Structure 1
Amino acid sequence: MVLIYYKAALGGLPYAIAASPHGRRILFTLSDIPAMSYFALRHLHISAALLSITLFALRGALALYGVHWRRWSLLRWLPHMNDSVLLAAAITLAWMSGQYPFQQAWLSAKVLALLAYIGLGKLALRAEQPQVQRLLWFIGALACVAYIVAVARTRSPWLGLA
Structure 2
Amino acid sequence: MSYFALRHLHISAALLSITLFALRGALALYGVHWRRWSLLRWLPHMNDSVLLAAAITLAWMSGQYPFQQAWLSAKVLALLAYIGLGKLALRAEQPQVQRLLWFIGALACVAYIVAVARTRSPWLGLA
Q: Identify whether the pair has TM-score above 0.5, normalized to the shorter chain.
A: yes
Distance (whole Å) between structure 2 residues aligned to residue 56 and residue 149 of structure 1: 15
Query: CA shift at 1:144, angstroms?
Result: 0.1
Deviation at 1:68, TM superposition (A): 0.2
TM-score (norm. length: structure 2): 0.99
Q: Which runs of 5+ in 2 are unaligned?
A: none
Alpha-carbon distance in 1 for matches of 2:124, 2:49: 27
Gaps of 5+ in 1: 1-35
1:69-88 counterparts in 2 under 5 A?
69-88=34-53
Moved over 4 A (4+): none
How far apart are the structure 2 equivalents of 1:160 and 1:43?
A: 24
Structure with the larger strand share: 1
2:83 and 2:112 mapped to 1: Cα distance?
14
Q: Distance in 2 between matches of 1:71 and 1:137?
A: 22
Instruction: Tell me whether 1:105 sits opposite 2:87 in the alignment.
Output: no
2:70 & 2:52 partners in 1: Cα distance?
19
Cα deviations across residues 32-73 of structure 1 (Å, max 9, x unaligned)?
Answer: xxxx61000000000000000000000000000000000000
**Residues 103-134 of structure 1, C-alpha deviations (whole Å, 9 max, x = no match):** 00000000000000000000000000000000
Secondary structure at the aligned position of 2:2 is classed as helix
Which of structures 1 and 2 has the bigger CA Rg? 1
Query: How far apart are 1:148 and its partner, in Å?
Result: 0.1
Report the Cα distance in structure 1 between the residues aligned to 2:93 and 2:126, rounded to whole angstroms.
40
Q: Percent identity?
A: 100
Q: Alpha-carbon deviation of 1:152?
A: 0.1
Q: Which has the higher contact order (CA 8 A, sep 6+)?
A: 2
Q: Secondary structure at the match of 1:59?
A: helix
1:43-82 matches, cutoff 5 A: 43-82=8-47
Distance 1:59 1:123 in 2: 12
- The TM-score, its normalising length taken from structure 1, stands at 0.78
CA RMSD of aligned residues (A): 0.6
Higher helix share: 2
